[in-house]
Amino acid sequence: MLSPPTKSAAVFSGDLRPLHQTVAIFTPASAHPLYYKGPKLAESIRRPLSRIFSSSEIIARTDNHSTKRAWEQTTDQSATMVAPLTSEISILDGNLIVKGAVLLQDVPGNVMLTASTGASSIQGAFLGASSLESKSSHVFPLGVLKDIRFMCCFRFSLWWMTHRMGNSGKDVPMETQFFLCESKLVSSLMPESTFNEDETVYTVFLPLLEGSFRASLQGNVNDQLELCLESGDAAVKGKGGLHSVFLHAGTDPFKVVGEAVQAVEMHLQTFRRREKKEMPDILNWFGWCTWDAFYTDVSADGIRQGVKSLEDGGTPARFIIIDDGWQSIATDHQHQVDEETFKQIPLARRLTNIQENYKFHKDGKRQEDPALGLQHLVTDIKEKHKLKYVYAWHAIIGYWGGINPEAAGMEHYEGKLEYPVHTEGVLNNDPAMKTDTITVHGIGLAHSKKVFQFYNELHSYLAAAGVDGVKVDIQNVLETLGTGSGGRVSLTRHYQQALEDSVGRNFPGNSCIACMSHNTDGLYSIKKTALVRASDDFYPLKPATHTTHIAAVAYNSIFLGEFMHTDWDTFQSAHPAGEYHAAARAIGGSPVYVSDKPGCHDFNVIRKLVLPDGSVLRAQLPGRPTRDCLFIDPARDGKSLLKIWNLNELTGVVGVFNCQGSGWCKVDKKYMTHDSTPEAASGSVGARDVDSIQNVAPEKWNGDCAVYSHRGGELVCLPKGATLPITLNVLEYEIFTISPVKTLSTGSYFAPIGLLQMFNSGAAILDFAVESSVETALNMIRLKVHGCGEFGAYSSVKPQDCLVNTVHSTFSYDPLIGLLKVLLPGIEGFSQDIVFRVSREDKA
């Protein structure tokens, strides 16, 4: 039972109520609670604090440690607590209330809400819960969730997250790591019947790391939202946590998520957000990955063929990723399982040497001289094909089965065989892990004190060979290996620190890609790595995966994009869904790289992504669903389109995709097509879909935009608030460049569009300025553009003339729609200057 204070308190007279009606109020200035004993507050939740409490009803308390002890002993399920009212997040009469709206009902008494304090000015609160029993895992009900629309990101496998929508507790999957819901702002200043979209409140729940425990959310059949705490080591126990989940709310969902992660960054101080990290330069260039081209059969000759094939087509790769298949590995000769299991589950393959295998030696023959191995290949392709960067793949534990501790040259890592222990949530969502090779046959794990040495020796060897960075895979496996190492959080943090220290020592430019790394153990422990794969793989031979891949990368990027820039994976340009995937990469802000087999390309698709110098027109942010798509399911509801927004330097961009028909099946635990003939889906597009369009708009912008459709080739000038209708069949897409219209001093209007042949046209525009002359009523419109090809713009009048790089150039103008076009010559590596002269008298 939570008791009122008995010391260090100033006690005022008042109507004392039974203790089960006691309310603890945490002020934002400190963690010291104020205890209230008086009438219940359910009917008063909209009133200011001064109107709810009088001085005669408050007991001030300063002994916060006693508060914690009292809370830990709480067992009364009817106890009621309130967080700081100034944060507008509270627990009142058993309800979790956010800005006046009830999100959770029947909140148990062992659930604690604590104010977010410290250096951050971001208001929020931490949810925690406690048990009398000390254990290595806990599941705490947090309250009943009903009739609240939400979107969450959960791990459907050990490695990857995807999205799920719902409106009740039972819809929340196990292993939920990100939870965003909507409600209506409850205000005493207006009747609820007058609410509109502006009053929508978005609340984010972020399960965190606390001490040795990692938190996640899940639901149960009683519609309770549950908090799951796990240490990953049966010997690492605890009774719960005070700061297990962070809550933050506001009316801008993307700002809410960003501010929440910022507050958590300051609270944990164990990771850094994306905007604080150095971005690898491969984001600006076109690349090629060997995986789907060769899988593990990759060889030096195959790499040479792949790079040459792309260059011959006029779209040269400037970086490559040598994926799995280059390392020296061997299959175990012994096993420790029964014969029937041995027949069904392949033996583990483990790393036997940090050097490359014979396929990468000169002439495909074993060479003792390192200069005749991987180094020979890297030097050759860089010199012949102007490659800027070569990345190499490896697993965070060396290889899929780890290292072979007994292999010659590997003994000094002091490795031993460890067997992964999976959580209930992972096995529920991905039961195949019970019989996975690494689960059955174990992992050769280097001793924890030797981890940095292992990475440093591997990376220094690669760096000496000319390799510029690494893609580090199967990172989430660390969470299964915490037994005897202090638990999953401790082990993951140790490995991540060693990895980042080695990458920083051996590879300039923060050149690392995190892969198969969708657990919060890693996300809240990574301080430097700036690129993360955003979803499960591109699977060329699995038709059910292509639409859901686009949906998954977009929704996952809402969360992952706060930590790192999201990589939407490679794809194949000549695949039937190749253009669909390419369009998503263009507006997703993702690295752009294909995995085409040599000679098997669709250059019409690639040229919409890649300029002749190998650079790409990349959007600035991780692409995310538009606000009106946050809580719909564009893969399963049979009617909705997915819209993804992003920003360029001076324009916005919206990609629209029909993703209906397929998704991850929660029953069969695999990708499935649930509707083989989905109907066309319809929606609308407008400037408001680009959530931060005002950030790239000119001063005194009136809200009008020029909108150009890539596939349709149509230009429309939309007034503020107007939208365009669109209908797409499954696996169809459209991309809209949205350019805020600038009003010129002459009374005319202008908006640059960009390179019309490119998916993301507006990313070509580097600068846009207007010089006005009152005397001559003349406007000089100056543009700086990256790339070549047909440049387009909206102009309400026909310009007098046009100069490209100071040379007079011909241009075309369509007076019916205001589309202005001029052809830019191919000048590699340089931006181009365009000048239009527009006067008041100019007419079409």
Q: 416 CB contacts (<8 Å, ≥6 apart)?
A: 405, 444, 445, 447
Residue 343: predicted pLDDT: 63
Residue 196: predicted pLDDT: 54
pLDDT greater than 60 at residue 53: no
d(CA 257, CA 149): 16
Residue 339: predicted pLDDT: 65
pLDDT greater than 70 at residue 65: no
Residue 290: predicted pLDDT: 98
Under a CB-based contact definition with an 8 Å cutoff, are residues 838 and 800 in contact? yes
Share of the chain above pLDDT 70, in %: 86
Q: How far is CA 803 from the centre of its chain?
A: 42
Summarize pLDDT for 3-19 with one digit per residue, the tens: 333 332 222 222 322 32
Residue 46: predicted pLDDT: 33
Which pLDDT band holds residue 121 (cuts at 50, 70, 90)? Answer: confident
Summarize pLDDT for 790-834 with one digit per residue, the tens: 999 999 999 999 999 999 999 999 999 999 999 999 887 779 999
| pTM for this predicted structure | 0.90
Tell me the one-letter amino acid at 142: L
pLDDT greater than 90 at residue 362: no
pLDDT greater than 80 at residue 453: yes
Residue 66: predicted pLDDT: 36
d(CA 466, CA 757): 36
Q: Which residue has the higher pLDDT, 68 or 591?
A: 591
Under a CB-based contact definition with an 8 Å cutoff, are residues 212 and 489 in contact? yes
Q: Which of the following CATH numbers is that of domain 276-533: 3.40.50.1370, 3.40.50.300, 1.10.287.3510, 3.20.20.70?
A: 3.20.20.70
Question: Mean pLDDT across the stretch 324-337?
Answer: 85
Q: What is the mean pLDDT of the chain?
A: 88
Residue 42: predicted pLDDT: 35
pLDDT greater than 80 at residue 778: yes
Which pLDDT band holds residue 189 (cuts at 50, 70, 90)? Answer: very low
The shares of helix, strand and coil residues in the chain, as percent rounded to the nearest 5, are 25, 35, 40
Alpha helices by DSSP H, 403-450: 424-429, 437-441
Structure tokens at 482: 């915490």
pLDDT greater than 60 at residue 181: yes
Summarize pLDDT for 149-170 with one digit per residue, the tens: 999 999 999 999 999 999 999 9
Summarize pLDDT for 410-450 with one digit per residue, the tens: 999 999 999 999 999 999 999 999 999 999 999 999 999 99
CA distances from 140 to 146, 151, 176 (A): 18, 21, 14
Which pLDDT band holds residue 338 (cuts at 50, 70, 90)? Answer: low
Residue 119: predicted pLDDT: 57
pLDDT greater than 70 at residue 60: no
Q: What stretch of H or E contains 315?
A: none
Summarize pLDDT for 387-404 with one digit per residue, the tens: 999 999 999 999 999 999
Q: How many CA atoms lie within 13 A of 820 on its CB side?
A: 27
Structure tokens at 349: 């393959």
Residue 336: predicted pLDDT: 65
Question: Mean pLDDT across the stretch 469-493?
Answer: 98
Which pLDDT band holds residue 782 (cuts at 50, 70, 90)? Answer: very high
Question: Mean pLDDT across the stretch 230-252?
Answer: 97
pLDDT greater than 60 at residue 655: yes
All structural domains of the chain with their residue ranges: 9-269, 276-533
Summarize pLDDT for 32-47 with one digit per residue, the tens: 333 333 333 333 333 3
In terms of C-beta density within 10 A (0-12 exposed, 13-18 middle, 19 or more buried), how is residue 235 classed?
exposed
Residue 49: predicted pLDDT: 30
